[in-house]
A and B are shown apart, each in its own frame.
Chain A
Amino acid sequence: MELLIKSTIEKLSTTGITFADVRITVTDSEGIYFQDGNLRSFGSSMDSQAIGIRVLINGCWGFAGSRQVKANHIDRLIARAIDNARHGSRFVNKPVTFDPLPATISEFHHRPEIDPFRMDKAEKLDYLGKLAQTIKPKDQIVFSSVSASFVRQEKFYANTEGTYTHFSCYNTDPSMRVVSSDGAKIQERSWPGDMSAGRGGFELFYQHAFESNTGRIIKEATDLLSAPVIEDEKADIIIGNSQLALQLHESVGHATEADRIFGMEISYAGKTFIKPAMLGKYQYGSEIVNIYSDSTDPAAMGQQPVDDEGVPAGRTDIIKDGILVNQQTSRQIAKLLGLEPSSNMKASYADDFPLIRMTNFCLAPGRGTLADLIADTEYGYLVDYTKTWSIDDNRNNFQFTTEIGWKIVNGKITGIVKEPTYYGITKDFWNACDRICGPEEWTYRGTFFCGKGEPGQAMQLSHGVAPARFRNINVKVNI
């Protein structure tokens, strides 16, 4: 692959092409799904190769991607990418430009503790099958599932500035879910919640303690059938890590993708309420809110040696002491904003066009445990495990419903509530954050399914979070 990618870059290093890069990915994936205690599907796609060739000509990007990674196919792809750029440049009024970067040569290979592709298949299926049997329908549980997705991806990248990198990693998405019914209504509980994926292999099942949480989700799903809803108009809420990762993702992560400022995502994902003039001044959150993008930490799925346009990995403060100080950028957008590129350009596979994507997008920890925070709360709710999420196309108005909430009175949990729903405006919400738990509660949570772009790409990324409290939040929605 190294020879192929380097020979392709040589062909692209010609007059008339301002910049070019080539990526090759080799991806193995495996999915296992048990439903109601039975193995419903088990499938794999091994050695799936893809190539993408991106060229900048006359200030316009052209791209050609294919799953046929063969030397005799490359010239046709190059011609197609060049043709796309040349024709597209006839409909361009502001050409794409960016500053050159020095060449980076890097290599990094992540190894999981338990390689899901090499471990004994019988052992793997036996473990998942036992989980599935434990939570299969019984009494008021009417549906259950256990699923595992394993991905191993190797990536080669080269560009006309001399950058070359070779990288590989393993990511895993483990999940289980039960649905309860009283004959008329249903409720559900999942584990470890929607943000269940992470960097690693089969060990993620053990890290998330699946076996010791089967009884918990069955009981909670059953109890939710007769639980009350929140009746308060407003309340203090503590958000647990599973839901807070999504809150961070939707209301800060996507909002600070700077391609949205320039309208590049209007046609699908949307815009952002953020304007360039806000940088360095805008009070995005309270002064305890510190948020950063970090593609250097190999413990989570956003790590990479360089991004998909040759920018070395880095850590960038996005919100510092509550003030918006930076953005997630591409090289083109960074130049438009007068910033350094933040190493956030990524594509899911080599035959996808790179976009500004979150990597490891994190809320820095504060102090204390979750137990301390509950004890410090006079009246409110602890909410967690995402059920419904929705945010407007400016990333300003959000509404979330979680699977379960716990009522807190005088620093103690007094019972559960079903489908707790809260909503707000992004700036007001993050400014209402008055406490964030400490490093002992801080964990990475991640997803395989962050959708963006056209053609759409589902990105694997992570969020570092610790439970946090938000004061006087709207919790009443009349349906």
Chain B
Amino acid sequence: MKEMMYYAHQALKPHQELKYVIYGQFWQTDFLRFYHSQTNYNISKECLSLGISLYKGKKSYSFNIDNPDQAAFDAALANAMALIDSLPEDPDFVDVEDDLRKAPEAPRINNIEAVPLATKTAILSRLTDVVKLHNFELYGTFICNHTISHLINSNGLDKESAGSPIYFEVKAVHNESQITVLETFGGEDFNRFDEADFTHRLLRKIAYCANDVVDVEPGEYTVIFAPRCVAELAQYLAYGMTAWSLDQHRSYFEGKTGEQVFPELVTITDDPNDPDVILFDYNGEGHLYQKLDLIDRGVFKHFMCNKYYSYKTGLENNGNSANCLVVKGGSEDLESMISGIERGLYVSSLHYVNFINPKETSVTGLTRDGTFLIENGRITKVVNSLRFTDKIVRIFQNIAALENKSFTTPFSQNYDQFGIEAVKSPHAKVLGFNITSSTKTI
């Protein structure tokens, strides 16, 4: 790849009239998918790609070449050069990224080699033996990616980075009732995977499933959201914290910088320095990825902004893009959070959440993979999956307590040459969560 990158750089360098970005990536995945406690399929995929963006004044054109060679690059460049003068201008474009700072070099392992298929299936076999005692079977994915990225641009950036995230998600499904619980591991260091603790947490959730299944009426409930739900809600909230959404007039946070928007116990950062999230050295344009305060003790602090929108909106280019969200933990332990609830819900996971109106942050979505009734301070029953319709900001405004422990939830983007990122968050106790109907199914 390096040879092609510098070939493209040498070809573009003499064109003083151009600004340009050359982005090369070698991407691999080893992807095990399992169901009914057995292999569904094993996939190995790889892709070498080269992306070029050219800017001539305020005119731009980009092209991508998979498995590039010099002849393909020469032909694509000739086509682009013949075309670019005829294109209309984008008056908002000013320059490409100029952040020359580099991330400290750190040794990275390739987890495709470090966690081979035999290791994955051995772990799954042991988990299978444990859950089948409770008449459960395993469904899920065990993914290892490996990516080497290289970015060169006309402002002198020449940055390489590598990553090898792991995503391991296990759903345990009861063979008759279909009641489902899930547990996940994500990160880059597989030595942090504690199989005994993972198994213990999965079995504790399976124990909840021995209770009766009931339905609940629509209405407002006090809810304990699992860390995974808090993570996903934070991602939806972060949508409105981007300069992109501000520019499109879709941001709830428009005009609210410095305002107290949530209770003081809510603090959210985008923090690549947290050892529990998946590390990103740079954003997609080569800007150094650094910690950014988004919500500080309830006060909205910053929009996430890249070079393009920095020129367009006047906001500072911080290069953040919500890849490393951390919702700060609170002071209560989970048991005491639950014990204070007379009648409420424990929600393990969310499904198919979609904005109704992004500016108002109204959404609808469903609970999934383990919804439980809390009565008199303890989990007593399994509840059918439920539909909610609410506003994300209202949910964060109604946070009454946050757990004193945090957990990392990985999210696989899954499409094309997909990446894996992680959000760190605690359990949250939320008042008045708006359940609007039942699915009548588990």
Contact = CB atoms under 8 A, between A and B. Distances in A.
A264 B38 contact: no
Contacts of B42: 60-63, 84-85, 87-88
Interface string A262-274: 1110111011010
Interface string A450-475: 01001111100000000000000010
A67 B46 CA distance: 7
B89 interface: yes
B248 A179 contact: yes
Mostly, the B contact residues are strand
B35 A186 contact: no
A373 interface: no
A352 B250 CA distance: 35
Interface stretch (B61-69, B197-205, B266-274, B375-383): B61-69
B91 interface: yes
A43 B61 contact: yes
A40 B90 contact: yes
A316 B57 CA distance: 55
A118 interface: no
Given A42-B61, A84-B43, A399 B48 contact: no
B356 interface: yes
B36 A94 contact: yes
A346 to B, nearest CB: 15
A38 B45 contact: no
Interface residues of B, number: 90
B301 interface: no
B76 interface: yes
Interface stretch (A97-105, A121-129, A283-291): A121-129
Contact of B440 (A125, A351, A425): A425
Interface string B393-430: 00000000000000000001111001000000000000
Contacts of A206: none
Given A263-B139, A267-B35, A267-B139, A66 B63 contact: no
B99 interface: no
A91 B33 CA distance: 11
Interface stretch (A150-158, A293-301, A389-397, A431-439): A389-397
Interface in A131-167: 142-143
A268 to B, nearest CB: 8
A351 B47 CA distance: 9
Q: How large is the interface on A (under 10, 10 to 19, 20 to 34, 35 or more residues)?
A: 35 or more
Given A84-B44, A263-B173, A455-B31, A186 B359 contact: yes
Interface in B221-278: 248-250
A69 interface: yes
A87 B83 CA distance: 50
Nearest to A92: B38
B385 A267 contact: no
Given A84-B44, A88-B121, A423-B437, A41 B62 contact: yes
Interface string A345-385: 00000010100000000000000000000000000000000
Interface of A: 38-50, 60-70, 80-81, 83-85, 87-94, 121-122, 125, 129, 142-143, 179, 181, 185-186, 262-264, 266-268, 270-271, 273, 351, 353, 387-394, 396-397, 399, 401, 419, 421, 423, 425, 451, 454-458, 474, 477-479
Interface of B: 29, 31-49, 53, 59-67, 72, 76, 83, 86-92, 117-118, 121, 124-125, 139-141, 169, 171, 173, 178, 180, 248-250, 351-360, 362-366, 368, 385, 387, 389-391, 412-415, 418, 434, 436-442
Given A46-B63, A46-B76, A89-B39, 15 more contacts: A45-B63, A63-B42, A67-B49, A93-B36, A142-B249, A185-B360, A267-B34, A268-B141, A388-B354, A392-B368, A392-B441, A396-B439, A397-B437, A477-B364, A479-B356
21 contacts: A44-B62, A46-B63, A61-B40, A61-B41, A66-B47, A69-B67, A81-B44, A84-B42, A84-B44, A91-B124, A92-B38, A179-B250, A185-B359, A262-B36, A263-B35, A264-B35, A390-B387, A394-B439, A399-B437, A421-B356, A455-B31
